[in-house]
C-alpha cells in the first residue's frame, strides 16, 4: 500500500473527483478525513456516501460537515482533525464549483461565491495545516486546478480566474516551503465525467469541441485524476514540487 499509515484531508470529498481521490487514498492505506458541506452528494444520492464505502471496506474515514467558505467552520474542523490524527501528511484541496458567466453578466454574488469556494477555501485549509507540516518537515499538498487555469473557455470568467490563481498559489507555496521538505503541486484536469460537469459536457457544442481538441478519443474519468493525485501524494513524487500536472487527454498539447 502506497499510503499506509498516512493521514489525509480531502476537501469536497463527497462527490466527483474528490470522492474518487478519497476512495483511492483509503484503498492505499490512508486514513481520510473528508470536509464537505454534505455527506452525500446531492447529485449522486443513489450511491452510498464516500465515508460509508471507505468504512464498509475496512478502511479508516471520518466526515466533517463544513462550509469551506466559512473560516470559523474550517478552523474548527481542522482543529478536531489535528487533535484526533495528531499530524496531517497529505492535504488535497479539491472543493470547487463551476458557474457560467461573463464580465458583463456575472453578479457580485456569483463572483464572491466562486472566489470563496474555489480559492479562499484553499487559503483557509492550507494556512491552518502548513505550520504542522513545517514542524514535521514533511508533507504533500495537492491543489485541484484545471486546464482552464491555463486556457480560457467560453463564458466561465470566475472559474477560469480562480483556477489560474490556484496555479500560482501552488507555485509560490512551493517556493516558500520547499526547504521544509513539503511538496506542493497542482493537478489541471480537462473535461472529466462528473455529475457537476454533466449539464454542459453533454451538449453537442462541447462534445464537438472535445473531439476536435483532445488527442485521446474519450472524456476523462474521475479515476484518471485520482491516479494522478495518488502519484503526487506518494513517495514516487518526492522530487516534484511547484508543478501543475495536466490530466487532459492531450487537450493542451495542440
Query: Residue 198's pLDDT band (boundaries 50, 70, 90)?
Result: low
Q: Tell me what percent of the residues of the chain surpass a pLDDT of 90.
A: 76
> pLDDT tens digits for 213-241?
789 978 889 999 999 999 999 999 999 99
Q: What are phi and psi of 72, to 5 degrees?
A: -65, -40
Cite the active site residues: 159
* pLDDT the model gives residue 7: 98
> pLDDT tens digits for 124-167?
999 999 999 999 999 999 999 999 899 887 778 999 999 999 99
Pick the closest to residue 36 from 46, 47, 55, 22 (CA basis): 22
Mean pLDDT across 175-182: 98
249 or 212, higher pLDDT: 249
Mean pLDDT across 169-197: 92
> pLDDT tens digits for 31-81?
999 999 998 766 666 579 999 999 999 999 999 999 999 999 999 999 999
* pLDDT the model gives residue 234: 98
Coil, strand or helix: which one is 128? helix
By 3-state DSSP, what share of the chain in percent is helix, strand and coil, each rounded to 5?
Answer: 50, 15, 35
* pLDDT the model gives residue 28: 98
The tally of CA atoms less than 13 A away on the side-chain side of residue 94 is: 28
Coil, strand or helix: which one is 209? helix
Q: Hey, what CATH class is 7-246 in?
A: alpha beta
Q: What are phi and psi of 195, to 5 degrees?
A: -65, -35
Report the length, in residues, of the chain. 254
Average pLDDT over all residues of the chain: 92
Q: Using the predicted structure, report yes or no on whether residue 210 has a pLDDT greater than 80.
A: no
Mean pLDDT across 3-11: 98
* pLDDT the model gives residue 112: 96
Q: What are phi and psi of 184, to 5 degrees?
A: -130, 115
Mean pLDDT across 190-194: 84
Spatial distance between the Cα atoms of 30 and 82, rounded to a whole number of angstroms? 15
Q: Using the predicted structure, report yes or no on whether residue 106 has a pLDDT greater than 60.
A: yes
Spatial distance between the Cα atoms of 150 and 253, rounded to a whole number of angstroms? 12
Amino acid at each position: 500500500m502506497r499510503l499506509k499509515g498516512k493521514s489525509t484531508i480531502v476537501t469536497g470529498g463527497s462527490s466527483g473527483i474528490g470522492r474518487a481521490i478519497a476512495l483511492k487514498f483509503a484503498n492505499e492505506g490512508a486514513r481520510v478525513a473528508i470536509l464537505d458541506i454534505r455527506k452525500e452528494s446531492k447529485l449522486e444520492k443513489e450511491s452510498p456516501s464516500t465515508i460509508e464505502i471507505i468504512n464498509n471496506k475496512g478502511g479508516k474515514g471520518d466526515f466533517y460537515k463544513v462550509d469551506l467558505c466559512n473560516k470559523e467552520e474550517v478552523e474548527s474542523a481542522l482543529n478536531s482533525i489535528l487533535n484526533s490524527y495528531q499530524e496531517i501528511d497529505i492535504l488535497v484541496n479539491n472543493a470547487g464549483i463551476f458557474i457560467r458567466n461573463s464580465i458583463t453578466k456575472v453578479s457580485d454574488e456569483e463572483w464572491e461565491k466562486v472566489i470563496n469556494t474555489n480559492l479562499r477555501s484553499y487559503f483557509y485549509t492550507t494556512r491552518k495545516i502548513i505550520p504542522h507540516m513545517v514542524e514535521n518537515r514533511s508533507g504533500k499538498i495537492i491543489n485541484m486546478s484545471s486546464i482552464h487555469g491555463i486556457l480560457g473557455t467560453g463564458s466561465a470568467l470566475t472559474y477560469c480566474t480562480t483556477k489560474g490563481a490556484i496555479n500560482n498559489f501552488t507555485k509560490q507555496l512551493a517556493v516558500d516551503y520547499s526547504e521544509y521538505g513539503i511538496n506542493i503541486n497542482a493537478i489541471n484536469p480537462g473535461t472529466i465525467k462528473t455529475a457537476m460537469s454533466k449539464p454542459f459536457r453533454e451538449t453537442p457544442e462541447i462534445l464537438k469541441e472535445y473531439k476536435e481538441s483532445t488527442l485521446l478519443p474519450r472524456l476523462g474519468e474521475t479515476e484518471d485524476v485520482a491516479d494522478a493525485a495518488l502519484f503526487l501524494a506518494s513517495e514516487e513524487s518526492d522530487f516534484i514540487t511547484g508543478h501543475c500536472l495536466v490530466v487532459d487527454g492531450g487537450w493542451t498539447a495542440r
